[in-house]
Structure formats: structure tokens, C-alpha cells
Amino acid sequence: MKIEGKRYIGKSGYIPLINGYSDLKLLNFGILRLRKGRRYRAILKNRETALVVLSGRIDLKCDRYRWASIGRRKDVFSGRAFALYVPPGFEYEIFAITDSEIAICSAPGNIKSVPRLIRPLDIRLRNVGKDNFRRKVYDIVDERIEAQTLLVGETINAPGNWSSYPPHKHDRDNLPEESDLEELYFFKLYPPDGFGVIRIYDRRKMDKIYVIRNNDVVTIPEGYHPVGVIPGYKIYYLWALAGKKRIMKPRDDPEYAWVKK
């Protein structure tokens, strides 16, 4: 199995990072950077899309829907996001009021739904774990949004902490114990010169460890995938999942599940 890792270089415009040529079958992902006063327009006829404002302030149009002055955080460590869920076949347009950075996630779909603006107060915060694997998880596009395949959120680890821990996976359609969802992580660090690690492994033959830098993206088609960060640095990752059954049901690695007790 191939696991793909790429680093986003912060140039202007749309930068595709994960597309149909990756090891993921469903998810596409890219970053849009717009200078103040610039516009970006797109339509995906057979894919549903989530736009997550990482930083900056924008105006949004989605067919007849309009939203003004969306976004307020200076970076991903400064509060909850604004986001937009775009159903298949809807054209959207982004106008940058300030220099802005937007994550764009998409997956196949043909659902008949309506665009949904997700405000910071709409985002559910979960404090997950304990001790040095405690982290903040923000659910953005979850079961409350009428979507077909996409689930999107953000996680922030305090310095020196671990997340996606105890290690879990979701690569088997075996409900109610486990769901089958592919995933990707997009990382940022604060300060940005730090690093983290991600281990992706199974109980058969796969075991890979990657050093994570600022603006890295890593695909997770299968396997357990815990994340850690060095002391003195926070780590953030946007996570996007997609599957035929849009149910979040991970399975913990039984060797490490005892830490929850």
C-alpha cells in the first residue's frame, strides 16, 4: 500500500494536493490562497465540497445564496472556523476581503441538498482523551449536515501531546464495531518551524512513520494512525473522511486501548 505525503508551498491561487491520482479513491483536497481583492469561482457537478476558512475574511456566493464578511481568525490556532458545505452541482464564488487561506475538500456525491454556512457557534467542540493524549476536536461537517459522503473537522494538540490515540482505524465495513472511511490530514504547527510524527500501521505488514512539518498533508487509506508533536509546539490538523456509509465508528488498537481506563 502506498501512503502519500505532500507539502503545500504557500503561493497564491488554488494548489491541488490530493486528487484522483493519489492512493485515496474518494477524497480530493487542495488549498486556496487569495490576495486581498481577488476572486475564485468553481463548480463540481458530481462532488460535494467543504470549504474551511483557515485564515482571513471573505465574501461567499453559492448560486442564489450570499454571505458577507465570513471568517475572523488570524490563523487556525485562533478560534473556531467558518465553513461552507456545497452540494454537488452548485457554483460557488469566493471574494477575498483580506488575504485569505481556504481548505477545499471534496468527495463524490449526487445528493439533493442545499448549501449550508457553518458558523463558529455551530461547530461542536469535544475534549477528547486525558493526560498527555488530551486534545480539542472540532466537528465541522458532521451528521448534523445533510451530506452524502464527507465528514470534516479540526484537531489541536497541546505541546508534547498525542492525538488519534489510543491508535484507531476505520478501514473495515464491520458495523457496529467499525466503519470503512478513508481519511487525510492537513497539518500546521505553531511556531511553524516545529515538527510532529505520524505512525501508520496495521497488524499485518504495514508500519510507516513520517515526520510532519508545517503545511504537510498525509493520506490515510487504511491502518492505525496516531499523531504526536514535540514539546514547545502546538500541532493542528484538518481531517477529512469519506466513505459509502457516512458513519464515524473507529476501532481502537486493542494493544493500547487500556489507556482509556
CA neighbours closer than 13 Å in the CB half-sphere of residue 248: 13
CA atoms of 77 and 30, how far apart (whole Å): 20
Calpha distance 30→14 (Å, rounded): 7
3-state secondary structure of 91: strand
The band of 22, judged by pLDDT with boundaries at 50, 70 and 90, is confident
Provide the pLDDT confidence category of residue 52 given band limits of 50, 70 and 90.
Answer: very high
| Domain boundaries defined on the chain | 2-260
Mean pLDDT value across residues 9-14: 80
CA distance 211 to 198: 7
- Is the pTM higher than 0.85? The answer reads yes
For domain 2-260, the CATH architecture is: Sandwich (2.60)
**Tens-digit pLDDT profile for residues 187-236:** 999 999 999 999 999 977 899 999 999 999 999 999 999 999 999 999 99
pLDDT given at position 2: 46
| pLDDT tens figures, 59-106 | 999 999 999 999 989 999 999 999 999 999 999 999 999 999 999 999
Cell output for 45: 457537478
The C-alpha atoms of residue 170 and residue 225 are separated, in whole angstroms, by 10
Give the mean model confidence (pLDDT) for residues 232-259: 97
For residue 29, what is the enclosing H or E element?
strand 28-34
